[in-house]
Structure 1
Amino acid sequence: MKPGALPKLLRGAAALGAAALAALLTVSGATWRLDDFFYDLHLSHWGYTPEGDVVVVAIDDRSLNELGQWPWPRDIHAQMLDRLGYAGVRGVALDLVLAEPDRSGDEHDRALAASMRRLGRVALPVVTAPLRQNAPPVEVLPTPVIATAASTLGHTDIELDAEGTARGLYLKAGLGDARWSALSLALISLDAGVARDPLPGLRRPASDRGSPYQWTRDNYVRIRYAGPPDTFSQVSYADVLSGQVPAELLRDRWVVIGVTATGLAPRYLTPMSEDQRMHGAEYQANVLEMLLHRRAIVPLAPWWQALLAAAMLLAVVYTMVNPRLQRPALIAGGAALLAAAGSIVLLRLTDLWFPPAGTIATIGLAYLAWLIGHLRHWRREANVDTLTQLGNRRRFDHVLQRELASARRTRAPLSLALIDVDHFKAYNDAHGHRAGDKLLQKIAAVIAAHARRPRDLPARFGGDEFAVILPDTHVEGAAQVADAILADMRKLDARYGPREDQRVSLSVGLYTCVPSPHTHVRTVFDGADAALYRAKENGRDRREAARLGEL
């Protein structure tokens, strides 16, 4: 073997391994949370001003107040469609489920059907639902009278990601076969001038045959939202019906009619806002605007994603480990930035989405293995008491300091419970240290069972002393937790003598405050400790509370 051949072979193997890992991470979707975070962060700053050719007619709270209890007789919708037809709208997506005959009489269904025929270009939704409990789903269409009058039907299946965010949409879907277009797509397909052929979107594999009872989807795209909720022009249903909305505002526009009234229809999280939810009518308006102006975002096919990720890692890692180059940190950092920036540029210029997190993560693994190892060690650092598996004193001190600082910022109440085991020495003397350890484990389990929220921290100081940190907890809530712990403790068989009163119990001291800038950890601890002392003085097996601060 020639000199230097082995290092080159090893460099090549490292580069190939990193390339394979990047391809695997990208295609498997293992880093989807990071990808979606990056995607949402960018998309939330990539809004646009709608062209003004889509209007939402909202069945809002004011409309319900003026027109009466929902659902309305369908002749009201017939009047609305006639009003829209008179205004000269281009088409209407009537996003209402009309699967049952009108309760007020068949003549109202016939009136609605007649107005739909007069208007033309009316799209109605198709939904799926089981006919009875535990039965397979079926496609639910409008009543025959109304369905035959509709210009087209489309599905309203809103695709929610794992954390409940509506990022994408399947343009085609149906039971067994993806034969229904999405509602907005079905509507604009009635206009040959704006219909798209072929459809955009990531295709379902041809070999993937759907079951007749399975909802089958195809042509997946990500939605390019115009902005956060209430970005689209919205008019009240009652105002349109009464003629208060000028016809010029509706003429030659696409209209989405949907329910926005409080409590009548679900709202959805979108990448455009972390706290505001978007009602279904505006969601459909965003889809309609996106399709009309060809703004759909299409994810790259998996094999293209794998190829791009592997090619980048092959070049980066091989360059990083080249002994002639002395800037591996610069190479790794630059490559990570290039992957992120390249994903954004590709998205903005071509409406193609390449998830970069797998590539960036693999670059980080290639250069920062020691840092990631350190971070993993930090995250895994238990700070746990080995006997009871509760937090230890170090963990307690750290969390109390952190929660006190958080409570100062948010002006939220913070409660601390100090717990002491009564007569534990007598129990140890009577049954031995092994039995005492088992009793401490049972007590720890009782305490942990009532500190259930993610930020609650049960801890053991050592010996027979315990504590519970309860963030965002008022006096009454802390008292309920303490009472529940005491009640469960009384159920334990923890006698150390023959008499009924010779039983191990707990004394609990509670302290609750809304911390001020002058409240310190010592203040909180001393308050709970003073309450614990009173609980012991007053006979044990009880709780006492100290309540200081601005509540």
Structure 2
Amino acid sequence: MTGRFRSCLDGFEKIGLALSLVALALALSYTGVLNRWDLLFYDWNLGHQSRVPAEDIVIVAIDEQSLRELGRWPWSRRVHADLVRTLTAAGAKAVALDIVFAEPDATDPEADRDLAAALADNGRVVLPVLNEQVRLNGQLIETLPIPALAEAAAGLGHVDVELDPDGIARGVHLKAGLGKPHWSTLALALLEIGEPASGQRLTGQRAPPMIPSSLYAWQRDYHLLISFAGPPGHFRRVSYVDALRGGVAPSTFRDQWVLVGITTDGLGAMLPTPVSGHGLMPGVEFNANVLDAMRRGLNIQPLSQHWCLLLTGALVLLPLLWYAAFPSRWTLPLAGLGLLLTLVVSFALMYGAHRWFPPTAALLAQGLSCPLWSWRRLQQSARALFAEKERSQVTLHSIGDAVISTDRQGVIEYLNPTAESMLGCTLETARGQPLGAVFRLDGDPDNRSPLDLVALCLERNQLLRLPENGVLVNREGREYAVRASAAPIHDQRGQTQGVVVAFSDITEARQMTERMAYQATHDALTQLPNRYLFQDRLNRAIAHARRANQSMAVLFVDLDHFKKVNDSLGHTAGDVLLRAAAERLLGCGRREDTIARLGGDEFVIVLENLNQEERATTLARRILDALAPPFQIEGHECFITASIGISVFPRDGEDVETLLKNADVAMYQAKEKGRDLVQFYGWDMHVRALERLKLEQDLRHALERRELELHYQPQMELHQGRIIGVEALLRWRHPQRGLISPMEFVPMAEETGLIETIGEWVLRTACEQARAWRCEGLPPLRMAVNLSPRQFLRPGMVNLIGRILRETEMEPGHLDLEITEGLLMKDVEGSIVTLRTLKAMGVRLSIDDFGTGYSSLSYLKRFPIDQLKIDKSFVDDVNNNQDDTAITLAVISLAHNMRLKVIAEGVENQAQLVFLQNNLCDEVQGFYLSRPVPPGRIIELLRGTLPSAALQDPNSRRTIG
């Protein structure tokens, strides 16, 4: 009876195991938990097949060669019209233009009509349809070609590609659209035009029925997996420019399916596919693969879910039936046979029937079946063994400390799992070995071994604790910071039987402490020592140099032009630049040199054991050479230099503060001499530093002492040769030093914050002068005033300008505010709001020094400006330097295309003036017209009593504005 019961129980267990495995496989298949593994298997399978693509499919590639020869993208639509006509003349079977024409050509409206005519003449051209979201969380819209092109095209096709969860494009939906899937994919639309009969019957996995709430959602239907012909570049390609200019024979396109699209990175859609490896496949080639597979009937259709479940269940159940029918020694081979069968079925369906069956759920269940089936036979004995051991070990297994028990001689008898993990060995390998054979203790001040610990515990017969700075080192050399203790084990009679050693792993706590100490002494951005660690190391270096009677040097490194990068590209780009500069500095020094960051763009280096000062010079020169190559920051080439000041111990100071201060003074001297220089400290620099401090103090009183004044430089309109405005330029007439250059005191005003007060004075004075000229009967002149960065970013700046205009009764249209492009890029969105407010007041806005910053032209169209100002650096050699000529012409063309005025500053000779006149520059200013002069001389200049080379030039006409 008992045997029969056990037999029935065994049968029920087999049935239960079989049902459980089948249920597991069905659940995994239904929920798609293993979808990622199925995709990897699919990719591996697809990657091992390749075929020759259809010979009648040609890709016309918008590639690097075409961009070089035809110019910057986007091109005029006349170019595309010419290509369509070329393909029409060549007899192309059908053409897909995978190019978005969602907006009219603003620069050449006739180009749209030209392209529409070419499309209509061809009659077999398909254009793309996009789905876009106009704003975050906004409603999706369908982006169609402009009406003229949509009507002229033979058909429209969507280019929507749904990526799988791992970001790979494996399939395509033959139909998609907003509200309902009414657009064919681009390849299907092309096929419907070229071979109408081929596109009538749709295959693919159908989407679930549409629900009312999804009427405004993007709907997809008829999903297919693409049978890619091969990796990117597999299809025949012709460069766009070669096709356009006759670089290939017309027969190349006769009776061909032609797909035109972008293959250059960064301009068009690039998709990751199973066959593109670590690269990307251009969207036009993706569509070529879809077209090729559709025409050949090779696209793969996912197996419907009920067939997947049925096949998965059968494949899992079959090996279980084999296990029951054959002896146990056949279990493993039969399991392998079941796995192989599943792979064969998946391969056969994919290549024979073009159906995709995901096999991983069945493979996983089959893989589990063999050990689970074998496990049944050992279950009874394992259960008994587990019950016996659990009572004695459950407590030790549940704690996080490592526990080791030994006998009286220190031989290991037991390890809990935590101890096994820490010691890097199992209980089986450690049992019978002495403690010292599996680990050692470092950091014990008494240098005791593990056996000494056992012996001491037995000797004292009490709990023994080790210092908390102990380190356990196992046989693999892995170290753990531990808190250790040892306690004797007593039997019922109180006799000592052995010792229990316990270790608490405090590695993470100690590492956290070390990280906090590191963060307190190192710069978070560059990971270099910070000011506190630098001062400590410099103190030690000074003490060592004093004891050894040696010299040492402190190099103070300040990055030139860093603020320009920060203002133009933003603080994030500035941080990237600082990290890159720090890496280059580290590459210049020796391992023992201290290279620290004090803050901002300032670095300092301690050079010890200095036998000759030339070593400091050599290191400084190495730093300048290392910083010379451009930095690649967010797609921009940034050039920076450094000014380096050097102080030497003990000549220039014998303490930290003095050495650092004198190196700083020397660094500023290097900046004053032109930057990108190395300067040793000298006693005369201290005097110059005091003079600079005195000059700063004088500047603070310059306004109240009425030492500041404005000079005005005329601006001439070139078409009629008349003066239409002036630029207000600040001058400081110092009572002792005379006229001081703005290059000397304006940066000082920026640093001290005085520029805000001075800037307000300049604006008010310039407006009052304009009113004074009107009162004297002069015609209205445009007054150009520069806004400093601090002035522009100052809260309330717009209200201040409005108040000054009202108080001085100046027309807003006669005030021209000049702002540098780098300043606008510091906060693009905030700058746009400010500029629009000023524009609403009627004030003219100009971008000063255009072309010298790092701004993106994509932002330029968003700024409500009136004028671009060409920087003097481009005008100087405009007749001799090809680069300056090209930049100047480009700025003029850009301004005119954007309906902006353009003015060139720094015109100093007739050749420059003639060049600018001949190339339609609107306005000029410079010494050739007039130097900046006091207000009274402007009146003389306008009335013809002040000589001016430009105004007296017989080749130019003069009109008093």
User: TM-score surpassing 0.5?
Assistant: yes
Q: Residues of 2 paired with 1:386 and 1:125: CA distance?
A: 66
Structure 2 SS opposite 1:245: coil
- Counterpart in 2 of 1:195? 198
Q: Please show how residues 121-200 of structure 1 align to structure 2 within 5 Å.
A: 121-192=124-195, 195-200=198-203
Q: In the TM superposition, what whole-angstrom CA distance separates every residue of 1:325-382 from its partner, at most 9, and x where no partner exists?
A: 541111111111111121011101011000001100111122235999xxxxxxxxxx
Q: Does 1:284 align with 2:315?
A: no
Structure 1 counterpart of 2:71, one-letter code: G
Which one of 292, 301, 309 corresponds to residue 298 of structure 1? 301
Is 1:91 the equivalent of 2:109? no
Relative distance call for 1:270 and 1:532 in structure 2 (3 A) is: same
| Partner-residue secondary structure (3-state), 1:270 | coil
The amino acid of 2:242's aligned partner reads D
CA contact (8 A) 1:392 1:460 kept: no
Contact 1:40-1:272 within 8 A present in 2 as well: yes
Residue 203 (structure 1) shift = 0.6
User: Against the structure 1 CA distance between its residues 243 and 138, is the aligned structure 2 distance closer, same or farther, given a 3 Å change threshold?
Assistant: same
Based on CA coordinates, which of the two structures has the bigger radius of gyration?
2
Which of 5, 25, 37 aligns to 2:28? It is 25
Q: Which amino acid aligns with 2:348?
A: V
Identify if the C-alpha distance between structure 1 residues 179 and 462 changes in structure 2 by more than 3 Å, giving closer, same or farther.
Answer: closer
Q: Report the 3-state secondary structure (helix = DSSP H, G, I; strand = E; otherwise coil) of the residue aligned with 1:341.
A: helix
CA deviation after TM superposition for structure 1 residue 205, in Å? 2.1
User: What do the CA deviations read for 1:404-463 (whole angstroms, capped 9, x no partner)?
Assistant: xxxxxxxxxxxxxxxx9xxxxxxxxxxxx9xx99xxxxxxxxxxxxxxxxxxxxx97588
Q: Tell me the residue number matched to 2:687.
A: none
Matching of residue 75 in structure 1 with residue 78 in structure 2? yes
SS of residue paired to 1:195: coil
Give the alignment of 1:125-524 within 5 angstroms: 125-192=128-195, 195-206=198-209, 211-322=214-325, 324=327, 326-368=329-371, 464=510
Aligned partners of 1:44 and 1:273 also within 8 Å: no
Q: Which runs of 4+ in 1 moved over 6 A?
A: 391-398, 465-469, 479-483, 531-535
Q: Alpha-carbon deviations, 1:262-303, whole Å to 9, x = none?
A: 321232211113212111111111111111111110010011
Question: CA–CA distance in 1 between the matches of 2:64 and 2:526?
Answer: 44
Q: In the alignment, which residue of structure 1 is the partner of 2:118?
A: 115
SS across alignment from 1:70: coil
Q: Which has the higher contact order (CA 8 A, sep 6+)?
A: 1
Give the 3 Å change call, closer, same or farther, for CA 370–5 of structure 1 in structure 2: closer
Letter in 1 for 2:131: T
* Aligned-partner residue type, residue 364 of structure 1: G
* Residue equivalent to 1:50: 53
CA distance in structure 1 between the aligned counterparts of 2:357 and 2:46, rounded to whole angstroms = 13
* Post-superposition CA distance 1:178-218 (Å, at most 9, x none): 11111110110123455244311111123656612211111
Partner residue, 2:929: none
Contact 1:347 1:353 in 2 (8 A): yes
Q: CA deviation at 1:103?
A: 2.2
Shift of residue 249 of structure 1? 1.4
Give the deviation of 1:320 after TM superposition: 2.3
1:151-195, Cα deviation, whole Å (9 max, x unpaired)? 111110112111211111111111111111111101101234552
Give the alignment partner of residue 107 of structure 2, picking from 104, 109, 116.
104
Offset at residue 247 of structure 1 (A)? 1.4
For residue 539 of structure 1, what is the aligned residue in structure 2? none
Contact 1:200 1:296 in 2 (8 A): no
Query: Counterpart of 1:229 in 2: which secondary structure?
Result: coil
Contact 2:36-2:166 within 8 A present in 1 as well: no
Separation in 1, partners of 2:422, 2:514: 12
- Partners in 1 of 2:72 and 2:347 — Cα distance? 48
Change in Cα spacing, 1:366 to 1:118, as seen in structure 2 (3 Å) is same
Normalised by the length of structure 2, the TM-score is 0.40
Mapped partners of 1:36, 1:167: distance in 2? 9
Flag the 1:228–1:169 CA change in 2: closer, same or farther, 3 A: same
What's 2:405 paired with?
Answer: none
Deviation at 1:313, TM superposition (A): 1.2
Q: How many residue pairs are counted as aligned between the two chains?
A: 417
Whether the aligned pair in 2 keeps the contact of 1:14 and 1:318 (CA below 8 Å) is: no
Q: How far, CA to CA, are the matches of 1:82 and 1:394 in structure 2? A: 75
Give the C-alpha shift of residue 106 in structure 1.
Answer: 2.3
For residues 369 and 486 of structure 1, the distance between their equivalents in structure 2, rounded to whole angstroms, comes to: 58
Aligned equivalents of 2:283 and 2:59: distance in 1? Answer: 10
Distance 1:253 1:468 in 2: 69
CA distance in 1: counterparts of 2:187 and 2:160, whole angstroms: 11
Unaligned runs of 5+ in 1: 373-384, 399-419, 421-432, 438-458, 470-478, 491-530, 536-543, 545-551
Q: Name the CA distance, whole Å, in 2 between partners of 1:7 and 1:397.
A: 40
Cα-Cα RMSD: 3.9
Q: In structure 2, what residue type is equivalent to 1:217?
A: R
